[in-house]
Structure 1
Amino acid sequence: MEAAGDVENERKRSMPNSKHRLRKAALAGAAGVLVASAPAFADEGMWTYDNFPAAKVKEKYGFEPGQDWLDHVRLSSARLAGGCSASFVSANGLVLTNHHCVHSCVQQLSSAKHDYVQQGFLARTKAEERVCPAMELNQLVSITDVTAEIADATNGLEGKAYSEALNGAMSGLEKSCASGSDVRCDVVTLYSGGRYHLYKYRRFQDVRLVWAPELSTAFFGGDPDNFMFPRFNLDAAFVRAYENGKPAQLDHFLRWSEEGAKAGDLSFTSGHPGRTDRQLTIAELEVQRDVLLPRRLIYLSELRGMLTEFRNRGPEQKRTANGLLFYVENSTKALGGMRNALVEKDFFASKVADEQKLRAWVAEDPTRAATYGAAWDRMAGAQREFRASMNEYYFVEGGNRSPWGFQGDFFGFARTLVRAAEEKPKASNKRLREYNDANLPAIEARLFSGAPFYPELDEALLTFSLTKLREALGTDHPFVKNLLGKESPETVARKAVRGSKLGTVGARRALYEGGAKAIAASNDPMIVLARRIDADARAIRTRYEEKVDGPQRVNGGLIAKAKFEAYGTSVYPDATFTLRLSYGAVEGWEQDGKAVAPITELGGAFERATGEDPYALPPSWLKAKGKLALATPMNFVSTNDIVGGNSGSPVVNRNGEVIGLIFDGNLPSLGGDYGFDPAVNRAVAVHSQAIIESLRTIYGASSLVDELLPVNTANGR
């Protein structure tokens, strides 16, 4: 099961056949012939919709997606802002995604009395559909190339000046694009800064839960079966997008295939892969292999132990910590798989050879050498700075995720409130990027969400993370001294959480609307904590942007331009949690000398079941067994190129119909962050027929079946 958004999990053994992961080819360039990594081979590629290789698909599979087809599938696709993919599957705003993508919503709607995670949830009428307290859905409506505008704003700048100009230009473009709270606009960095595109989204912030099965069937097999195949999971769920209190009306949605996926079928996956690093330099890959991945794995392993202990305190602690523990276990597995790819000598050697060939090609021509030649050495210098500053940056500031040193919802609220009070009075393009006008609706949706919070878990998380921060930076570090004073991490966390009122929407709203004056006057201990460390945290962020992020963007852009000169746009950009389309086929693979069949059957779940977790089917399944068509296809694999973030992506056929739902990858796919091997990398999906059979026969969800299927097939196939 893929991690949502932050693609992080472990693998148990090295990836087989990874020497095939990157092929070499002779590429003709304007200045001669360059031998380097082929732009893409076989079914490799997470392609942007404005640069999809339709002719290559026709060459291999005999079908060429036209512009109308591409536009329809794009507008039928959706993104869950928390880190997953989805698709519209009816004209009335019905959305298909994974159970693990809506798990947080299901848990937020649950209580000790009604545990929908364990019992499942079904709204038999629209009136019974429940608002997901903190869910946002985005539909990509347009893509605009803004590379020239960004280049004009940053021309000739370096370091801090470059970062400030870049952030200002991006914020300005986003603000001019976002015409209201129902529109979201993001400037997307592609090709390491070689291209910048403005993505405009239709934003849905009223999203309601329609159906989610029991966790025991959605995650059947648990961690032992995670990233394995054969699989027997019903990792599916439906939510509905609403506008103005009514189901959203859509012109584009994916119809349901009557047959679903069959072996050998051409398959497309439209989703939002979270991140790949296939275009990184060797200096960057070495830091990932030797520093960042090992440290993150240690941190997550220790967090897993803390959460396991917390769950053992009682049934309510187990319920409230289950979702986070799932994420941590999933992330640990994925990260380990990523590192396994980088420590495999043949694979890493192929990456080194590819870079050397490109650098040699650059050096052959004086103009190219003068323009691009120094970029790799400068990038290596930025990586040395990153090694030196990594602990400070990740533990204190956190990048795009929560700081490693300040885990928990309460501190997240406090930092947001403290920074919003300082940032909002500034011009939008002068603010920290996450607080510009285009991003404020998302911030306000999180702040004013009615989702429940669990102070005991928050205290345990903050205690753990403050302890790890002190270990990483050292007791004598000035930041640690300012943070803890004479107190222990346990004492600071206990006082901050137990004394805070930030668990209520009213308290957060009053501080947000009160601005700087309210924040300065607040004696809420969590606000006091966030306020006390904010100047130091901002200084750490500024140094990182000046010494690491700015040089990486500048020199990454130069390297990307060198690649463009050699390859054009026949190379797809690394994933950025933006909409991509991949193509492939329903196809098994060979593992340990044995053929792995591409499709499993629903009856296999009963054969695999033991009655004990994680192989215990829920009572609803056991009760319905005699009525089920056990030969119904259950899960399948395909050669579609995916990574984490693709969870919830629809798998569609050449007619643009749903034939499956991505929920995982196999073990070899865990190295997909750095490369793709079509011989063994496989995407794992729930079969469309398994969803219909379970809705109809197990859950009695006839209204949902009628909404998904044409009238003439609603009563059976």
Structure 2
Amino acid sequence: MTRFRRAAGKARRILRMVGWCLAIGAVVPSGGRAEEGMWTYDNFPSEQVAKKYGFKPDAAWLERVRLASLRLAGGCSGSFVSPNGLVMTNHHCAATCIEELSTAQQNYIESGFLARRPEAELKCPDVELNQLTAIEDVTERVKKATANLSGQQFSDAQKAEFARIEKACADATGLRCDVVNLYQGGLYNLYKYKRYQDVRLVFAPEFRIAFFGGDPDNFNFPRYDLDVTFLRAYDKSQPVKTEHYLPLSPTGPKAGELVFVSGSPGSTSRLFTVAQLEFLRDVVFPESLKRRAELRGVLTQFARQGPEQRRISQETLFGVENSFKAINGQQQALLDREFFGRKVAAEQKLRAAVARDPALERKYGKAWDEIALIEKRYETFYRPYLLVERGAAFNSKLFDIARTLVRAAQERPKPNEKRLREFRDSALPSLTQSLFSEAPIYGDLDEVTLTFSLTKLREYLGTDDPLVRQVLGKESPEEVARRLVQGTKLTNVALRKLLWEGGAAAVAASSDPMIRFAVAVDPAARALRLRYEREIEGPVNQNSELIAQALFAQTGTSVYPDATFSPRLSYGAVEGYEHNGRRVEPFTDMAGAFERATGKDPYALPPSWLAAKDRLNLATPFNFVTTNDIIGGNSGSPVIDSRAQAVGLIFDGNIHSLGGAFGFDAALNRAVAVDSRALIEALRAVYGAGALVDELQPKGRSAFTL
């Protein structure tokens, strides 16, 4: 199951470390099918769709779908599916909420959850939903702010202008406002979102059916998963009322049918330079895979200590396994000589075109070589930056809280445009929601992960490194982690609020060991961040923008921009594929789940399904694949037919789709979805949730008129 939420979040962090801008430029279609592309809503190729499929999405259709679509700020997608604020997304997108609401006595991950009455819906501690309401072009304003600047000055001016634009928008509208970089500097758009932070759990199936097949089946097909969760958005303590929602289709999709996927794909890097791809392949990915493989073993051993240890570590272990498989899939794409050869050839072709025009050569010709030099420079301090500033050495929820409080005390008094980006006014509502969450923190798990990451700090930087000596002193990693985790009081939300509100004075006066630890390591972390922004981020952004402008000057908006975790719409068809000499059909059915079941994890069906077998129509289509272009962040996206009905729910991609970060292969890349017919059948026959089905298919609600 894609656990595309985690894959998206991890991919974004990895790509930032290589010096990515919010988008990596326009992508020229690879000569494959027209389905390629994650299109912005204000530039959707309706004519292309009409030419191929005979249906042209008009402005009214696009608006209805856009306003029904949602972004989960934590890294997923969703959609309104009823007029009463009911939201459909994936189980793995809501798993953190489900886990946080669980206890040792009532484990909703294991047993599932159904609120049969409105008052039984449980509030998720820190879920935020974003609904895109408007898009504004701010290109000229951003480019004016960065004119004739370079390096660190360029980066600082751009970030400051982003902050001013976002703050002015938020102050004037009360909305969440994000400046989005499209075509790597070709366009800058201001996206305005209505923000929902009161989100409640309505339904979640058991983990065993939501992730049936586990890691062996992850990023593969056939699949037999009910990877769904229903949430409800509230506004002023009342369910949101909306005219824009996607009723659940009772008939599902047909083979060959045109379908759309609306979501917020996290990031693609289809126009990375060869030097940037080599840095990923040779430096970033090997390091990431090694560390995750080792952490997976540590967490597996922890889970074997008992049922409670298994419960509290399940979500963390799942995330590590998922990101390992996702990164490994991307690495295999870059190791494929034919695939990488195409990337080299494409770069050479663009450089040759630039070289033929002296004016273009003077303006853009050196950008590729400059990026190559920057990547070499980055390699000299990549590990310290990853460990200390990116936090790979401090894998602890309690440390994250401490660092946030320490940095907030320094950043919040500054002018908005001078702050670190995560402390801008536009970011504070999401940050404080997470910081003051009442979600439980499990000290014994935190101790295990912090011990592991401190051990890696010593291993990677060496015992004699000054920072290692400062962090560990005469103690072992286990002793430092135990002292910090067992000594801190930051599990107390009231204390966090006092430190937040008290600012620098409160932090300076605090004797909490985790706060003192965060204070001690922060100068080294900030120095590495400053070096990264000055020597890597700023120069890479500027040179990447030059490359993108060279291409953008030729293609403009006739092609789609790379993914930026902002709302996009893709189109494709329900279609199988050929793999290893065999035909993979586009649908699976419920009977297949029972045939695949062994009674042992990860192929153990939950008791509710075994008991309901005779009531189920086993011929009901369960999962299906489409040619839609998706990537991490699309988890929870609705699959929509031409009548604006939800016919499915994206939850995965096949193994070939992992290379979609760098390019799209229409013959092999497939999106994987739960069929709407399976959702209806399971809700009625397994869970007795007829009222929920009725809400998903309201009487008198017709599909979109064609």
Common fold: TM-score over 0.5:
yes
Structure 1 position 310 matched with structure 2 position 302: yes
Report the alpha carbon displacement of residue 40 of structure 1 after superposing the two structures with TM. 7.1
User: 1:221-620 maps to which residues of 2 (within 5 A)?
Assistant: 221-398=213-390, 403-620=391-608
Report the alpha carbon displacement of residue 488 of structure 1 after superposing the two structures with TM. 2.1
Q: Quick one: percent identity of the two aligned structures? A: 56
Aligned to 2:614: 626
Counterparts of 2:225 and 2:684, CA distance in 1: 17
Report the AA paired with residue 442 of structure 1.
S
Aligned to 1:115: 107
Helix, strand or coil at the partner of 1:178: helix
Helix, strand or coil at the partner of 1:179: helix
Q: Please say if residues 260 and 628 of structure 2, whose CA atoms lie closer than 8 Å, have aligned partners that are also in contact.
A: yes
Report the alpha carbon displacement of residue 576 of structure 1 after superposing the two structures with TM. 1.4
Provide closer, same or farther for how the CA distance between residues 270 and 536 of structure 1 changes in structure 2, counting only shifts above 3 A. Answer: same
Report the alpha carbon displacement of residue 161 of structure 1 after superposing the two structures with TM. 1.6
Helix, strand or coil at the partner of 1:635: strand
Q: Please say if residues 453 and 503 of structure 1, whose CA atoms lie closer than 8 Å, have aligned partners that are also in contact.
A: yes
Q: Please say if residues 384 and 528 of structure 2, whose CA atoms lie closer than 8 Å, have aligned partners that are also in contact.
A: yes
Counterparts of 1:455 and 1:58, CA distance in 2: 56
Q: Deviations over 1:187-212 (max 9, x none)?
A: 11222333222111100011000000
Report the AA paired with residue 709 of structure 1.
Q
Counterparts of 2:410 and 2:28, CA distance in 1: 49
Counterparts of 1:530 and 1:412, CA distance in 2: 9
Helix, strand or coil at the partner of 1:410: helix
Aligned to 1:128: 120
Provide closer, same or farther for how the CA distance between residues 258 and 614 of structure 1 changes in structure 2, counting only shifts above 3 A. Answer: same
Aligned to 1:161: 153
Counterparts of 1:36 and 1:646, CA distance in 2: 21
Report the alpha carbon displacement of residue 99 of structure 1 after superposing the two structures with TM. 0.5
Q: Please say if residues 355 and 361 of structure 2, whose CA atoms lie closer than 8 Å, have aligned partners that are also in contact.
A: yes
Which of 372-381 and 177-186 deviates more?
Answer: 177-186
Report the AA paired with residue 435 of structure 2.
L
Aligned to 2:7: 7
Report the alpha carbon displacement of residue 451 of structure 1 after superposing the two structures with TM. 0.4
Q: Please say if residues 299 and 317 of structure 2, whose CA atoms lie closer than 8 Å, have aligned partners that are also in contact.
A: yes
Q: Deviations over 1:630-681 (max 9, x none)?
A: 1111100000011111100000001111000000011111111111111111
Structure 1 position 688 matched with structure 2 position 688: no
Counterparts of 1:381 and 1:152, CA distance in 2: 28
Aligned to 1:24: none
Helix, strand or coil at the partner of 1:711: coil
2:203 to 189, 204, 211: 211
Counterparts of 2:239 and 2:39, CA distance in 1: 31
Q: Please say if residues 191 and 279 of structure 1, whose CA atoms lie closer than 8 Å, have aligned partners that are also in contact.
A: no
2:74 to 82, 87, 90: 82
Counterparts of 1:8 and 1:656, CA distance in 2: 26
Report the AA paired with residue 666 of structure 1.
N
Counterparts of 1:3 and 1:159, CA distance in 2: 37
Give 5+ residue unaligned stretches, structure 2: 11-25
Which of 95-104 and 185-194 deviates more?
Answer: 185-194
Aligned to 2:91: 99
Report the alpha carbon displacement of residue 282 of structure 1 after superposing the two structures with TM. 0.6
> What is the TM-score of this pair, normalised by structure 2?
0.95
Q: Please say if residues 78 and 638 of structure 2, whose CA atoms lie closer than 8 Å, have aligned partners that are also in contact.
A: yes
Report the alpha carbon displacement of residue 37 of structure 1 after superposing the two structures with TM. 6.1
Aligned to 1:21: none
Report the AA paired with residue 152 of structure 2.
K
Helix, strand or coil at the partner of 2:632: coil
Aligned to 2:141: 149
Helix, strand or coil at the partner of 2:171: coil
Give 5+ residue unaligned stretches, structure 1: 11-26, 28-34
Aligned to 1:220: 212
- Computed over aligned residues only, the root mean square deviation of the Cα atoms, in angstroms, reads 1.8
Report the alpha carbon displacement of residue 179 of structure 1 after superposing the two structures with TM. 3.2
Q: Please say if residues 8 and 75 of structure 2, whose CA atoms lie closer than 8 Å, have aligned partners that are also in contact.
A: no
> What is the TM-score of this pair, normalised by structure 1?
0.94
Counterparts of 1:351 and 1:523, CA distance in 2: 54
Counterparts of 1:688 and 1:56, CA distance in 2: 27
Helix, strand or coil at the partner of 1:568: helix
Report the AA paired with residue 500 of structure 1.
T
Q: Please say if residues 8 and 330 of structure 1, whose CA atoms lie closer than 8 Å, have aligned partners that are also in contact.
A: no
2:636 to 637, 640, 648: 648
Provide closer, same or farther for how the CA distance between residues 653 and 355 of structure 1 changes in structure 2, counting only shifts above 3 A. Answer: same
Counterparts of 1:149 and 1:467, CA distance in 2: 47
Q: Please say if residues 29 and 559 of structure 2, whose CA atoms lie closer than 8 Å, have aligned partners that are also in contact.
A: no
Provide closer, same or farther for how the CA distance between residues 106 and 383 of structure 1 changes in structure 2, counting only shifts above 3 A. Answer: same
Helix, strand or coil at the partner of 1:7: helix
Counterparts of 2:601 and 2:266, CA distance in 1: 30
Counterparts of 1:490 and 1:57, CA distance in 2: 58
Report the alpha carbon displacement of residue 374 of structure 1 after superposing the two structures with TM. 1.1
Counterparts of 2:479 and 2:698, CA distance in 1: 61
Q: Please say if residues 447 and 481 of structure 2, whose CA atoms lie closer than 8 Å, have aligned partners that are also in contact.
A: yes
Q: Please say if residues 637 and 684 of structure 1, whose CA atoms lie closer than 8 Å, have aligned partners that are also in contact.
A: yes
Counterparts of 2:124 and 2:437, CA distance in 1: 9
Q: Please say if residues 39 and 571 of structure 1, whose CA atoms lie closer than 8 Å, have aligned partners that are also in contact.
A: no
User: 1:162-201 maps to which residues of 2 (within 5 A)?
Assistant: 162-179=154-171, 183-201=175-193
Report the alpha carbon displacement of residue 267 of structure 1 after superposing the two structures with TM. 0.6
User: 1:28-43 maps to which residues of 2 (within 5 A)?
Assistant: 38=30, 41-43=33-35
Report the AA paired with residue 650 of structure 2.
I
Counterparts of 1:615 and 1:97, CA distance in 2: 23
